[in-house]
Amino acid sequence: VRHELEAQRDDAAITSDGRAITLSANIELVEELPLVQNSGAKGIGLYRTEFLLLNGEELPGENQQTETYTRLAQALAPHPLIIRTLDAGGDKLPIEPLTEPEPNPFLGWRGIRVSLDRPDMFKEQLRAILRASAHGRVAVMFPLVSGIKEVRRGKDMIKECMDELASQDIPFDENLETGVMIEVPSAAVIADLIAPEVDFFSIGTNDLIQYTVAVDRVNHHVADLYRPTHPAVIRLIKRTIDAGTANGIWTGVCGEMAGDILLTPLLLGLGVEELSVGPHQVPRVRRAIRALSHAECSAMAEEALQTPLSLDILEMTSTLASKYY
């Protein structure tokens, strides 16, 4: 099966009835680049930059980050590289000066909250991203956004960095695309208010699920309650996509849910335009997309949105997935 999947590497990620999906890859380390290229993914939909942190230290300096991002951008061009700004905290790597454990790390100092509280560090990262944007197709996205103000403050910081670079005659992409992760329920609920401010949405289902159903994503005792097909989760996904569509921006999914081929029919049916998955999952997800009819998936998703039990929704999407599963 592996060879068969590899042979299909250059096939388009397009449904049997002609809907094209952008299929991209998630990475944590630059060393994964060859895997991404071998997978045939159309770019990187999520680069988790917190893995640049070493032992809770600062991010590498601006020049070193610029080098890293530029290398990736150049290797991927003309495909995009979506760089997520630092998402430290929570279950992730801690960052100075947070020396004491937080009582509720998932509700604490993480994601864009840390970046906005550490403007010098944030600006170094943004300047590096901007500098790399002169060498390929680079976009930036903010993690753990919970409201409009964080989006505006993040964008203001980008503008500030652009002005600085311009005054120093350092080249960058003036139209750098800026997106947000939709992974906090409050952001999904006000997706219609956020959409006019950004260029794309990327749904982080790992966090969106945990925050929606109040289930710690790394606690085994409650793992059974962690359900991607919970009706509330799929309604939030649908709401986000609809808000994006109404505002002319695309919505993707970069959480683990995107790589689960049992759920591909559901996500396509809800209307996602991009799926970003681990490099190893790319061939299987591509095959799933190609085996599915978007019209059939949409009809199933309509019904799923009216279905009260997550297990029934799982069964509905699994039935369509049986074509290739």
Q: According to CB under 5 A, which residues from 186 to 215 bind Mg ion? A: 204, 207
Which residue, 69 or 172, has its beta carbon nearer to ligand PEP? 69
94 part of the interface to ligand PEP, by CB under 6 A: no
- 255 makes contact, choosing from ligand PEP, Mg ion, none, with CB < 5 to 8 Å by partner type, with ligand PEP
Q: How far is the CB of 44 from Mg ion (least distance, A)?
A: 16
Tokens 């530029």: give the residue: 70
* Angle between helix 231-246 and 294-304 (nearest 10): 120
CA separation for the pair 154, 164 (Å, rounded): 16
Is 32 a binding residue for ligand PEP by CB under 6 A? The answer is no
DSSP 260-304: -TTTHHHHHHHT--EEEE-GGGHHHHHHHHHH--HHHHHHHHHHH
Cβ atoms within 10 Å, residue 42: 23
Per CB under 6 A, contacts with ligand PEP among 144-183 are 183
Tokens linked to 72: 């990736």
Total residues at the site for ligand PEP (CB under 6 A)? 10
Q: Does 125 bind ligand PEP (CB under 6 A)?
A: no
* Stretch 232-271: interaction string toward ligand PEP, x if CB under 6 A: ----------------------xx----------------
Helix 148-167 and helix 119-132, axial crossing angle in degrees, nearest 10: 60
C-alpha closest to that of 186 among 207, 171, 165, 217: 207
Of residues 80 and 111, the one with the C-beta less far from Mg ion? 111
Question: Which of 32, 50, 173, 183 is the binder for Mg ion (CB under 5 A)?
Answer: 183
Binding site for Mg ion (CB under 5 A): 183, 204, 207
Binding site for ligand PEP (CB under 6 A): 46, 48, 87, 183, 204-207, 254-255
